[in-house]
Structure 1
Amino acid sequence: MPKAGPGAADGIIDLYSRRAADWDADRGRGLTVETPWLEAFLAHVPMGGTVLDLGCGSGEPVARYLIEQGRAVTGVDASAGAVDLCRARFPAQDWIVADMRGLDLGRAFDGLIAWHSSFHLTRDDQRALFAVFARHVRPGGVLMFTSGDTDGEAIGQWRGEPLYHASLSTAEYRTRLEAAGFAVIDHAVGDYDRGGVTVWLARRVGGRMDE
């Protein structure tokens, strides 16, 4: 992939806002990759518990799975079009148009998931996101997010438009999780048995909320 240049991340919200319907069509409804990880996540979230889905997109298929498994979902996405789709599909849940960067909803959840979303942020924005995670996961609650595994930035392509990605190093993700009060439960780098994704699953055990 070509390397990212200055300001390359700035177009992500605009891209997903303009093309919410296209992204929804391309995302598909299958969960062959995600299901084992979602099951591992929900093993730590009580039935009827609350989940914050950061970068929820159109709610398909991840939020739908969480809802069908008996959890109450609050979804946050910066794309108003994507959130409109969520509201139409799952009106009993809570859907919010907001940027995850600096988010403060004033409440904590049993679980927080950021599946294929936070890696669209710059490295500095990802570093700041650990404070958002800590604010929104109650002590004993769980966090799951996907990431890259090599420090750097790159630009992919989707429907002819640039798509920004960034990653911290594996060591830095681990350090920042611990500093924010999370203990890693499971972690896989390029987990080809479960879809080739790099995933972090961690429990909040304490720490400062403003790290």
Structure 2
Amino acid sequence: MSDPKTIAIYDDRAAEYAGMTDQYNTTDPRLVAFIAACPEGGRVLDLGCGPGAAAARMAEAGLAVDAVDASAAMVEMAARHPGVTARHATFDDIAGEALYDGIWANFSLLHAPRTDFPRHLSGLHRALKPGGVFLIGLKLGKGEARDRIGRLYTYYTEDDLMDYLRAAGFTPTDIKHGQGEGLDGTVSPWISVIAHG
């Protein structure tokens, strides 16, 4: 994420966001499946970690967690969790090859402009170990727009997302749909995909 307005909103409303999401993020069935798909003691990346609730759950399960976020306020909150190494970084800061057994990109890459999305996915595929697990969550729809509080979103259809994932080298294996209320109060449909590198 590199949109300054979106980052500023997360900085300003980090505590409110944590209050809305922490409880669900620690019990999310998708997170349970992601953890189970990673090897014991494996190294994982939480991309766009927010307040760190999911990263904390991964650490509790024995995974070595690298948590990153473009919001300094979110990084500060995530770093308070035992076992979580949190740092300030954007999507473009993820580099390296075959570093991670798993990458958790749960509702983070939806803030990247569509033109940057293929580059980000390719970089994450390189950073993932062969056969590693990748989870991505996005809001369903078309186009790019700002929400009621000014955050930039890029929306995807399921077919579009599958095409992008396969083009980057991922093999989608599990797809789930749902809907949820965002920080702006809007209920939106979403898609969550587990894939392998």
Name which of 170, 173, 179 aligns with 2:158. 170
- CA drift at 1:97: 0.5
Number of residues paired by the alignment? 188
Query: Would you tell me which structure has more helix in proportion to its own residues?
Result: 2
Per-residue CA shift, 1:139-166, capped at 9, x if unaligned?
Answer: 0101001013332123323xxx322221
Per-residue CA shift, 1:36-63, capped at 9, x if unaligned?
Answer: 2112222320111111000001102x11
1:102–1:151 Cα change, 3 Å: farther
Q: How does 1:131-142 map to 2 (within 5 A)?
A: 131-142=122-133
Residue 44 (structure 1) aligned with residue 28 (structure 2): no
Residue in 1 aligned with 2:113? 122
Q: Secondary structure at the match of 1:151?
A: coil
Q: Secondary structure at the match of 1:114?
A: strand
CA RMSD of aligned residues (A): 2.4
Residue 73 (structure 1) aligned with residue 61 (structure 2): no
Matches of 1:44 and 1:57, distance apart in 2: 22
Name which of 13, 16, 23 aligns with 1:29. 23
Q: Secondary structure at the match of 1:29?
A: helix
Is the CA contact (8 Å cut-off) linking 2:40 and 2:62 kept in structure 1?
Answer: yes
Q: Which runs of 4+ in 1 moved over 4 A?
A: none
Identity %: 30
Residue in 1 aligned with 2:186? none
Residue 85 (structure 1) aligned with residue 59 (structure 2): no
Unaligned runs of 5+ in 2: 181-188
Residue in 1 aligned with 2:185? none
Name which of 43, 48, 63 aligns with 2:55. 63
Is the CA contact (8 Å cut-off) linking 2:131 and 2:196 kept in structure 1?
Answer: yes
Residue 101 (structure 1) aligned with residue 95 (structure 2): no
Per-residue CA shift, 1:47-102, capped at 9, x if unaligned?
Answer: 11111000001102x11221122211100101112111122222x33211011135
Is the CA contact (8 Å cut-off) linking 1:152 and 1:167 kept in structure 2?
Answer: yes
Matches of 1:149 and 1:87, distance apart in 2: 31
Residue 188 (structure 1) aligned with residue 180 (structure 2): no
Unaligned runs of 5+ in 1: 1-8, 205-211
Residue in 2 aligned with 1:11? 5
Per-residue CA shift, 1:94-125, capped at 9, x if unaligned?
Answer: 21101113521565100001112111222112
Matches of 2:28 and 2:56, distance apart in 1: 12
Is the CA contact (8 Å cut-off) linking 1:102 and 1:132 kept in structure 2?
Answer: no
Q: Secondary structure at the match of 1:124?
A: helix
